[in-house]
Structure formats: structure tokens, C-alpha cells
Structure 1
Amino acid sequence: MSIIDKALEANSNYAKNYDPKLGKRPAPKIAVVTCMDPRLSDLPGILGLPQADLDVIRTGGPAVTEDVLGELVVSNRILGTTEILLLNHTGCGFTTFTDDELNAKLSASTGDASPAPMRFFSYKDPEQNTREQIKKVRSHPWIAKEIPVRGVIFDVDTGRLREVKA
């Protein structure tokens, strides 16, 4: 049985106890842009906030791409979030390669270079990356200027957050 088949089977049990009140429109208070790394999956625990307060946007890196900016605009202007948190972490897989290296490796291993150059948003320094992502968000004209935009780094070895000053 595949992992997806197991997930579909487990969902039938989940749905038996599902609270239909959870289906109403969300009203999150904070937008959190974080990495797709599974070590960051317990955001209510990491941040000490109720799940309902979190509008979570997961992306590799965590890179603030045009898509992420669009999601942040909707989160702020439509859903009503009043703060934005960029949550990076130590030990990110995106620090283990460069975009050029991965493009070359995938072109060689697949024999197909047509997608290259793809942008993977790799980086080396989590602090510098966090500062750059804060600047991208802050510079978008549709993100309300009064909205706080802050960045933190989650230490995967200790579970602690450390704020990055922009």
C-alpha cells in the first residue's frame, strides 16, 4: 500500500470525528512564512499560538517568491492578519547546494537541460536570508506599512527561536 493510500484510509477515520465548525472561514491573526522542512510542522507548539491564529505559508528556504508575496497580500488584506513572521531554521537543506550546482546535477542526471536554469532559492546564511526576505516583504506596496514584519531562526538542535534584526 502506498503512503497516499494509507493517508486516504486514515482520513476516513479522521473524518468520523471532524468538527464541522472548523469548516467556517478562517480568521488568522498572524501570517507565518516558513520552510517546508517537516521539523517545523508543530508551529502551534513552537510559537505557543493556537492553530486557528496561524495563516501558514510553507515554501522551501523559506523563500519569499512572487507567489508567497501574493499569499501574504491575501492574508493581510483579505483574511485580516495583523502581523507577518518569517521563520527560518538551522540545518536547512537549501543551504547544502547552489542553484547552479543543482541545475547542473539535474541536467546531467536526467539528460534533459530544458528546465534550466531553474530558480531553487538556495542560500548559505540563514540570518542573511531572513534579512533579505524581510526586505522583500517590507518593500511590497500592497503589504500594509503598519503591519509588523519580523524574522526568526528556529534552532533544530535546541528548539529555540532567535530573532533576526532587519
Structure 2
Amino acid sequence: MVGTEEANVKNIVESIDSRVQNYSPARGKKAQIVLMGYPEITGTGVLDCGAFDPDEQNMMQRMAEHFSAEENKMVQTAKAAGVEVSFANPMPAFQGHGACKPEGERWITPVTFAKTGPGDFGDVDDVWSGCMFDGFRCASRTSMHPNAAGARAYAGVLTTHLQALGYTGW
């Protein structure tokens, strides 16, 4: 990664770090802060992946791995400073379920040029804000985010992580 990408990651990590540092000591005694990492986004080396060639897929995978590594480093720094926080890595659970996999196997929504629900493009004042444009239309904001199966997988990773910590809830 070069230039602005590294700067953007650094800004995001610093923003998360400042929020973790500003947690309220009055929070619930059993509350547990867990930062969830990034999943596998597309899969790697899939030849038929719509708009993404294998090099682009590999780049997105490297970015997800980089973001997760930076988040994990930030968590370790916060833990060393006495903050009760942990990191859960969903990457292993998502392997083989990226957006380029066939319907039914994928846990990440591929780039979708259709409105998929409230909050999608057309529901906001500035329709072009953050638009990934193919020359004719905007991609849905659900694109490249977990679908229902992916959300269940994230929940499973979090549940397993909390159980490993001995977290029993309220």
C-alpha cells in the first residue's frame, strides 16, 4: 500500500483508538469491547468475478488482511495500556465464501447495481455521495458487505471469541 491508502488506514485506526481510550469507566462491569476484523472479500484467483480480475481480487484480499493486521496491532497497543479490548479475526471463517463465489456459497454480496433496500442510492439527498458508478448507475450500498449468511458467520466468530474469553454476558 502506498501514500493515501496508508494514511487513510492510519486515520481510521487512530479514530478507533481514540474512541476506545475514551470509554466510560461507568460502563457495565461485564461489557466486553471486541473489534472485529475484515473477512475475505472476494476470494483469490477466481477467474469469473464480474468487474474484478484476479489481480484486483488479490489486491482486495491484501487490503483486508492489512486492515485486520492494523486493527489487531491497535488492539494490542490498547490492551498494553490497560484497556479491556480484544480482537476477533473472521478471515478464517470466511475463506471460500467471498463475493466471487457462486450464489449459496458466498457470504459477501457482490457488486450489485440495483436498489436493495432503504438507505440505498436514491434515498439520500446527495445521490452521488460515495457512488461506485459503472457509467449508468450506482452500486447498491450492500455491495461488498456481508449478506445474511455472512452476518451469521460474523455472529458465530464473535460468539466463539467471547466464549474463549470466558464472557458470560449480563
Both proteins in one fold, TM over 0.5 = no
Greater share of strand? 1
